Amino acid sequence: MIRRQTFAAGLAVVMLGASLGGCAAPSQLMQSERQWLVGRTYVVTGASSGFGRGVALKLASHGSNVILAARRTETLKEVAAEVRAAGGTPLVVTTDVSRPADIDRLAKAAVERFGRIDVWINNAGVGAIGRFEDVPLRDYDRVIDVNLKGVVYGSHTAMRLFRQQGYGTIVNISSVEGEVPLAYQAIYSASKHAVNGLGAALNQELRLNNQQNVKVVTVMPWAADTPFFQHVANYSGGTPRMILLDDPQTVVDTIVWASIHPTKEVAVGWKAQGAVAAHRLFPDLTEHIAGDVYHGVQIETAPPASPTSGTLHEPMRAGTTVDGGVRERMRREDQQRREQFGS
């Protein structure tokens, strides 16, 4: 009962915040927006699954050039075939974003092939779930290497190129956890707070140096149903879960829209907008509710799961789609729980 009351209170706070937030990005682009995408060159990291794969395919459908970057070469080749079939022009560059040399090679390959880069999307991300002291330090190192250093390396390379070109947009994929920290995801939250701070600082520099044609956008999605939950390192004792998961296509649409209409920060959808606005108005209350709700979902009710480092240190073959099937998996788990406990 307490957990249900906490969830209801949390939903009320989020909805209050959402009423004060902005509107969602449209799922359908206008003719002028679709025309803008034709022939534009995008770098997309983390392109082998989830948001990255979805963004690559949406860009391809509007005739963009898409440089596909991730660790899984064979999967990227599959994505490239889909990009080509959808009307885009792909380039596969196997990349570990935590390695500066890989990022440099990625940028050089893109420029050599297409002559320029219009938009650089730092999307690659990993996570680790569990009580802070239960997660191995080497896993935390890897989360920081990918989620923070990878964004730093990508932004640094793109910024230097865009200053030379005189234009360009960097889109950094953060999270609502870049605003609202979450228990049992301490280093993930820390990495996303850092991404938010990086974007804010870079925008200050661009303003002070009168670089009006270079933009940095920070996109903050709510948790979405992607293979992230299959790939995540997990030491929580239960299967990875989250409440009210968004459809990944909502985030994909917003990322593409934000690349056309760059603004400093974009919270994706009413839940993210509500959580961000609520946290700025009522930080202690919002964090209290977020912690209680996630504790109930992840620690108290999740079915047992063995510890795993997920894809942190080595990529896995599984989980190559845009949608992760997590909502359906959670429905099955919840039904089994109800049948077992009668509630």
Residue range 51-70, pLDDT digits in tens: 999 999 999 999 999 999 99
pLDDT category at 340 given cuts 50, 70, 90 is confident
* Separation in Å, CA 160 to CA 7, 59, 121, 155, 166: 45, 24, 15, 8, 10
| Cα gap 324→321, rounded to integer Å | 7
- Give yes or no for a contact between 149 and 159, defined as CB atoms under 8 angstroms apart: no
Confidence of residue 7 (pLDDT cuts 50, 70, 90): low
Give the Cβ contact number of residue 116 at 10 Å. 15
What letter represents residue 49's amino acid?
Answer: S
pLDDT score at 1: 43
Helix-helix angle 2-20:269-281, to 10 degrees: 90
Mean pLDDT calculated for residue range 279-286 = 98
- Mean pLDDT rounded to a whole number for the chain: 94
pTM for this prediction: 0.94
Q: What is the pLDDT of residue 2?
A: 41
Structure token pair of residue 281:
């108005």
**What's the angle, vertex CA 277, arms to CA 272 and CA 282, rounded to 5?**
120
What percent of the chain has a predicted confidence (pLDDT) above 90? 90
When pLDDT is cut at 50, 70 and 90, the band that residue 11 belongs to is low
Domain ranges of the chain: 2-341
Span 2-341 CATH architecture? 3-Layer(aba) Sandwich (3.40)
**Quick one: pLDDT at residue 337?**
86
What would the mean pLDDT of 32-42 be, rounded to a whole number? 98
pLDDT at 341: 78
318 Ramachandran zone, left/alpha/beta (phi>0; psi -120 to 50): beta
CA-to-CA dists, residue 26 to 21, 29, 76, 255, 324, angstroms: 15, 7, 28, 11, 23
Catalytic-residue membership of 188? yes
Query: Strand ranges (DSSP E) for 200-248?
Result: 214-221, 233-234
Q: 51 and 251 in contact (C-beta within 8 Å)? A: yes
Distance CA 43, CA 104 (A): 12
Segment 288-313 mean pLDDT? 97
pLDDT tens profile 73-117: 999 999 999 999 999 999 999 999 999 999 999 999 999 999 999
pLDDT tier, 6 (very low <50, low <70, confident <90, very high otherwise) = low
Query: CA 31, CA 29: separation in Å to the nearest integer?
Result: 7
**Does residue 32 carry a pLDDT above 80?**
yes
pLDDT at 297: 97
Quick: pLDDT tens for 202-249: 999 999 999 999 999 999 999 999 999 999 999 999 999 999 999 999
> Which of the residue ranges 1-15, 161-175, 259-273 would you say has the lowest mean pLDDT?
1-15
Active-site residue, selected from the candidate residues 42, 140, 184, 188: 188
Task: Kindly report the length of the chain.
Answer: 343
Distance from the first to the final alpha carbon of the chain: 12
